[in-house]
Amino acid sequence: MATIQRPEEIFSALTEDYKKLYQNDLISIILYGSGAGQDYKPGKSDLNFLIVLSENAVDQLDRALDTVARWRKKNVAIPLIMTRSYIDTSLDAFPLEFLTMKNSYRVVYGDDVLREISFDMNHVRLQCEREIKGKLLLLREGFMGTQGKQKRIQELIAASITAFTAIFHGLLYMKGTEIPTTKQEIIEKCSENIPIRSDVFMTCLDIKEGKKVYPSNIKDFFTDYLAEVGRLWKFVDTMEV
């Protein structure tokens, strides 16, 4: 199956599929994440869509089962299905997810439901702290299960770094700093505003992307990674908003 070189190649067909399924109950289709920005890599990046339905249609998900399965074969991820009310009432519980989404998105069809959303600084700080502490525990636990093997440690690092990109979104938002669109720029911008080592997180990102730049002693590098996560936690814990 042909690789999707540019996300907009599928906008028309995808929209028609969901319009046939939900007609006037389809409020919005939004592409978000790497596909909406400069991080998109054809054949590697999933295309992530938010589909906003009416309250009447959101319980009729079975209509879309075949459509979702067909688009999955083209590297289109299973979409997030929401209603306007779900979005409006979730900004306090999941500010990082919506903040990350809002930073890189394109409206494919319908209303721009993300344009006017805003976030309470205290909610953002609380989720940042909760996420960092949770990831720190998971990284420690995960390391104990690697048996010190390089491949397993690399897999652990690769699986964890995406969450920190979202956390960095939140920290930059609280700092009142413009949030870049690429992961590398986000890490660099964060290191300019927060006392963290950008080189450690950049290496984690390289490992995630499969670049052959692994540290010669992966265990020592992982220790540095844990130390930076710990510093990040202490910074957020004392951060005033």
| pLDDT one-digit tens code per residue, 27-64 | 999 999 989 988 888 888 889 999 999 999 999 999 99
Statement: residue 174 has pLDDT above 70: yes
In order of start, what are the domains of the chain with their CATH numbers?
7-110 (3.30.460.10), 121-237 (1.20.120)
Residues 6+ apart with CB under 8 A from 146: 152, 153, 156
Q: Tell me, what's the pLDDT at 37? A: 85
Statement: residue 158 has pLDDT above 90: yes
16-25, 36-45, 79-88, 111-120: which has the minimum mean pLDDT? 36-45
| pLDDT one-digit tens code per residue, 94-118 | 999 999 999 999 999 999 999 999 9
DSSP labels, the chain: ----SSGGGGHHHHHHHHHHHHGGGEEEEEEEGGGGSTT--TTTSPBEEEEEE-TTTTT-GGGGHHHHHHHHTTTBPPPEEE-HHHHHTTTTT-HHHHHHHHHSEEEEEE--TTTT----HHHHHHHHHHHHHHHHHHHHHHHHTTTT-HHHHHHHHHHHHHHHHHHHHHHHHHHTPPP-SSHHHHHHHHHHHSS--HHHHHHHHHHHTT-S---SSHHHHHHHHHHHHHHHHHHHHT---
| pLDDT one-digit tens code per residue, 229-239 | 999 999 999 98
Q: Tell me, what's the pLDDT at 223? A: 96
Share of the chain above pLDDT 70, in %: 98
Q: What is the mean pLDDT of residues 117-134?
A: 97
CA distance 191 to 226: 16
Statement: residue 180 has pLDDT above 90: yes
Statement: residue 214 has pLDDT above 90: no
* Identity of the residue numbered 196: I
CA distance 164 to 58: 31
pLDDT tier at 241 (50, 70, 90 boundaries)? confident
pLDDT, mean over the chain: 94
pTM, 2 dp: 0.90
Q: Tell me, what's the pLDDT at 1? A: 57
